[in-house]
């Protein structure tokens, strides 16, 4: 998987040389390039932002700089789309719907995905991470300041690019760099060969059809500072152990994340689950 990250602080991503991600780069599983957005400016101050149209506080990232950068990375020619884009297509593109071409066919799914972190976008979930782990190439555009000009994602959608905008949670960060680090880790650890132990991925929280919180884990000794592990885990009865863990997952999820219980697919529950 090829990964490009555009930021005014590309040094943020120096840490990607460490740990499992560093190993994955060495193995050739992922190839990462962090670019400095200011390299695409032409003025002496290398400015990437400007005041908001309509007034208000803060600064907004300029579409002109972003488009020169993204056109180059994506291999696209600059276009004025005022002639070709209909109001309907623009509205669909702005909502992230697939753009229908002249022949009425839905454009073939691109294997390159352009991703903008945005605190006002839908939440990034494990499902998104799984889907994006199948892409050939990811291009991340990190916004700073009050955000980026809304026409940037709109324009690239209209060019047929698969553009996504995601928030990583209900809190505000200074810029997209940390959010990109989070998304990148969630996506790349799903690549075959990235993790040492592939099975640990399958049983984790938020994965699979159930998306329950994981049960508690214990290791030896069986009693530590006067606290014992639950007896059933020492019983050697795998059926009982599985049932105990499953019950704990259900109860814990109900208590801490009732929203996940609401979304649970009833078909994924077995008879014993229904009693708990
Ligand atoms: Cl994606 N960006 C910023 N700046 N803040 C956030 C976020 C993203 N997700 C949550 N907070």
Domain ranges (residues) in the chain:
2-188, 207-275
CATH code of domain 2-188: 3.40.1280.10
ipTM above 0.90, yes or no: yes
pLDDT digits (tens, 9 = 90+) for 27-73: 999 999 999 999 999 999 999 999 999 999 999 999 999 999 999 99
CB atoms within 10 A of CB 253: 21
Residue 181: per-residue pLDDT: 97
Residue 21 has pLDDT above 90, yes or no: yes
Residue 270: per-residue pLDDT: 80
Rounded to whole angstroms, the Cα distance separating 163 from 115 reads 6
CATH code of domain 207-275: 1.10.1270.20
Determine the atom of ligand 1 nearest the C-alpha atom of 121. Answer: 1
**Helices 19-27 & 177-188 angle (0-180, nearest 10):** 60
Q: Residue 190's pLDDT band (boundaries 50, 70, 90)?
A: very high
Rounded to whole angstroms, the Cα distance separating 80 from 160 reads 15
Nearest CA, atom 7, ligand 1:
119
- Cβ contact 153:116 at 8 Å: yes
**Helices 87-94 & 151-158 angle (0-180, nearest 10):** 110
Rounded to whole angstroms, the Cα distance separating 184 from 188 reads 6
- Those residues whose C-beta lies under 8 Å from the C-beta of residue 269, and which sit 6 or more positions away, are none
Determine the atom of ligand 1 nearest the C-alpha atom of 143. Answer: 4
128 alpha carbon – ligand 1 mean position (Å): 16
pLDDT digits (tens, 9 = 90+) for 112-150: 999 999 999 999 999 999 999 999 999 999 998 789 999
167 alpha carbon – ligand 1 mean position (Å): 5
3-state secondary structure of 266: helix
Across-strand partners of 165?
A: 116
Mean pLDDT of the 71-76 span: 98
162 alpha carbon – ligand 1 mean position (Å): 20
CB atoms within 10 A of CB 56: 9
Residue 109: per-residue pLDDT: 47
Determine the atom of ligand 1 nearest the C-alpha atom of 175. Answer: 4
Q: What is the largest CA-CA distance in the chain?
A: 75
- Encoded tokens for 7: 């930021």
- Encoded tokens for 95: 């909502």
Q: Which residue has the higher pLDDT, 210 or 270?
A: 270
Nearest CA, atom 5, ligand 1:
173
178 alpha carbon – ligand 1 mean position (Å): 8
Is the beta carbon of 129 within 6 A of some atom in ligand 1?
no
71 alpha carbon – ligand 1 mean position (Å): 24
Residue 275: per-residue pLDDT: 62
The most confident of the ranges 3-12, 19-28, 93-102 is: 3-12
6 alpha carbon – ligand 1 mean position (Å): 16
Is the beta carbon of 141 within 6 A of some atom in ligand 1?
no
Rounded to whole angstroms, the Cα distance separating 40 from 158 reads 22
**Mean pLDDT over each residue of the chain, to the nearest integer:** 89
């Amino acid at each position: 998987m090829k990964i490009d990250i555009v930021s005014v602080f590309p040094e943020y991503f120096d840490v990607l040389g460490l740990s499992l991600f560093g190993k994955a780069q060495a193995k050739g599983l992922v190839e990462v390039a962090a670019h400095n957005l200011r390299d695409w400016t032409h003025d002496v101050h290398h400015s990437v932002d400007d005041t908001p149209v309509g007034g208000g506080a803060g600064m907004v990232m300029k579409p002109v700089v972003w488009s020169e950068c993204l056109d180059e990375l994506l291999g696209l020619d600059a276009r004025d789309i005022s002639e070709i884009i209909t109001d309907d297509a623009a509205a669909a593109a702005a909502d992230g719907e697939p753009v229908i071409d002249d022949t009425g066919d839905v454009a073939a799914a691109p294997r390159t995905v352009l991703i903008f972190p945005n605190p006002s976008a839908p939440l990034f979930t494990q499902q998104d991470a799984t889907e994006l782990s199948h892409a050939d190439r990811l291009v991340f555009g990190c916004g700073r300041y009050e955000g980026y000009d809304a026409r940037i994602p709109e324009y690239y959608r209209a060019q047929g690019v698969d553009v996504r905008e995601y928030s990583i949670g209900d809190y505000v960060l200074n810029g997209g760099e940390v959010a990109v680090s989070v998304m990148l880790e969630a996506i790349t650890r799903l690549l075959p060969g990235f993790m040492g132990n592939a099975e640990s991925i399958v049983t984790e929280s938020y994965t699979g059809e159930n998306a329950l919180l994981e049960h508690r884990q214990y290791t030896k000794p069986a009693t530590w500072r006067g606290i014992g592990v639950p007896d059933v885990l020492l019983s050697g009865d795998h059926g009982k152990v599985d049932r105990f863990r499953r019950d704990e997952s259900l109860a814990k999820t109900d208590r801490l994340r009732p929203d996940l219980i609401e979304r649970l697919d009833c078909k994924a529950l077995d008879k014993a689950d229904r009693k708990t």
